[in-house]
Structure 1
Amino acid sequence: MGDRPRYSHDQLEQYFNRIALPEQNRLHSVAAVPDDVKLSYLSLLNKHNIVRIPFENLTLHYSWHRTINVRPQHLFNKIVPPPSRRGGYCMEANSLFHTVLLSLGFQVYMAGARVYSKEAGKYGGFSHCVNIVIIGKDRFMVDVGFGANGPTAPARLRPNEPRPHIEGTEALMRFVHESIPQQVDQGQKVWIYQHQISSDAEWVPMYCFVDIEFLLEDIRGMNLSPWKSPSSWFTQKVVLSRFTTDAEDEAHESAFMSDKAVADGRIDGALILFQDTLKWRREGQTVQIARFETEERRLDAMKKYFGIEFDEEDREAIRGTTGELSQVNFAI
């Protein structure tokens, strides 16, 4: 097995605290447990991770350095220790989870993915990544870094098997195993992750991914696309999202991301903050919670719904950029 960074016993404990994993559910090694227990534990970690650790690009807007470092130790320091409530985009979130799974003894590797643009009608280059976890004779795709349309649980890699995206809603997800139109060699197949918002809607490709292992060096190279590309919307718009549980309620603000809400609730939707709008997609319905007229109101919402606060230096870093909100920008 390749030489990969691992997190220590103490770091894993800090991670378990970060995702509100109950003490009685904590395992530090899955090496000796049956396959069904491995899968159950993987599913539990996945659920807690996507509720507690948000998908976000805030470093590109609320920092003086605008640097995205995907090395495992840096990601741990950014996302895990208190008082952090930070997350990251795909390379960050999936790289952190990858290192956690390796440290717990899972057989896992990372694979590169190409995101589909519905507007352009084609896939981009490698700018996303997923984890492939092998349990027994099955492989599961795990993605904790794609936002609200990403999978909410480990998904067995079998083609043409629709499964619920979020229990209790009409939304479905599935894989197909085929070539994409942009390929010269149509004999080469890739896995395509598709999403269907309701039973009468079309299946929409989200991304495709290959079935070979990507090295940490590959991930660092791919990270340059969302971080540095002049066409990357990550550098232009603020995005922040996380999945929610049915134990969270607007009427009880203290329940947002509380340990009890994460542990006892089932995933029922997602909070999505995109530039000047906050929406809650819940039980298959989307409700707009707020539209922000100023930067201050957006920062207040980040604190309330995501637990994220910035110091004065980071708050000032967005001033004068395309991502900033102000009365003037809003009026235009």
Structure 2
Amino acid sequence: MNKKGFLVLALIVSFLVPAGTLFAAGQAEAESGAPESLSVLVYITGVMAGSPPYTALAEGAQEFASGHDAVTVKIYEAGFNQAEWEEQLTSLVATGEYDLVLGSNPSLPEICERVGAKFPDQKFIITDAFSEGNGQIRTYLYNQYEQSLFLGYLAGLVTTSSMEHANDALKIGFIAAQEYPLLNKHMVPGFLEGARMVNPAIELDFRIVGNWFDANKAADLATSMRSAGVDVFAAIAGGAAQGLFKVAQEEGAYIVFHNTNEYKAAPGRVVGCGSMEQKKLVKEILADVMEGKVTYGEASIVGVQEGYIGFFYDDPAYTQNLPADIREDFESFMDKIASGEIEYSLPSL
């Protein structure tokens, strides 16, 4: 099934209209009109330190509230013990203090379904997740397959190049904190597909840390992968990615990074960084909530064409770290993604 077909079957109406009308008026909100006030619980499934997407989630909500007197925001960091997340959220929702729970995690919809069953008036909005059909939950999934595709393409250009730390093994690597459907079905396959658009013989070495904070374990994995011929890495590992940065600096390897600008984390080694416009999306979501324009029970997928996935071209490190011919090839590929010229199949979750 191609990308368009997947979205039609998923009934993601908002993806099929221009970005300016992405968040269509919702029946559930329209029946009662726009709220006069809004109390938002930003539920962080982890901690903000070392997690730019969570930081952007919180900052987006706080910045929106600072411009709207009728909006209040509470930030709650749930920590790394996932077994406690549902109990914590249940206790918070049980207070009745919050009109809206705002979160960002692919596993959060399932938790919110169970919590919401106990509190049928509670509303949940979750970014970086996909779930539809529950009238209490609205989700917005970043097209991480697409981001992985173009970062994989860049990794393919680097591993097949004559850059100092590239070798002849045609191996790229992906280090993840843990496995989950979005990672396994969109990000890892997209990364490999993008690389194989450069050379079909490229292979992927995929390793798991086991948590989001063990930088020493990530460093051990990176060292092993480097010895096996990997010369370009991607990572979705939270604070554990610091171990990869260290190995890349000391042993010589390159890194492409999802979602945030990490060029300074390993100077000369991070050759490309994708962007995820979390803060922008959060502000637009809350504006739509205040205007009564949210349809709960629906889901959207947002990517390059909608302006929520991109790439950090403007950092001087991008120009300094990559030869001109690689940059030219990569930027041409990005233009083709933005125009819809690059065709790919978006797997279901």
Task: Return the TM-score normalized by structure 2.
Answer: 0.25
Larger Rg: 2
Higher RCO (CA < 8 A, seq sep 6+): 2
If each structure's helix is expressed as a fraction of its own residues, which one has the higher value? 2
